[in-house]
Structure 1
């Protein structure tokens, strides 16, 4: 059990996936995208279908990073825009 608790970020991520799926709250996906992309920006590596590195695959790496940031912003902001209209 202690080993499982060491991976609490993974457990939180899984809980968020279930919460998003069962409650149809799409903004949760925006949080998950942020949890995914922010550490990748610091490490210079991401795992999107395959392993990408900023130093060896800069164009593809940045396309993935920008895509995740834009999707995150859209999914987080879109519900607020619906309330304004």
Structure 2
């Protein structure tokens, strides 16, 4: 009878160990997936920030160009660099 109980205890320990190992593996996989998601989110935020910067710079350049052209069109002598004798 003692041998049978000992075998049952050994089997119970093996089962508990296998369950704990499977749970640990599942937790590791979940942690890995979370890290991958966090990395993708970080990369997306960085790309979005870079895109915002490009849009801002493009807007500033467009404003400068528009200011150049509007100041030239408001000045009737702008563009007339040739001196005409009267």
* TM-score, normalized by the shorter chain, greater than 0.5: no
Q: TM-score, normalised by structure 1?
A: 0.30
Structure with higher Rg: it is 2
Q: TM-score, normalised by structure 2?
A: 0.30
Structure with higher RCO (Cα < 8 A, 6+ apart)? 1
Where is the strand percentage greater, Structure 1 or Structure 2? 1
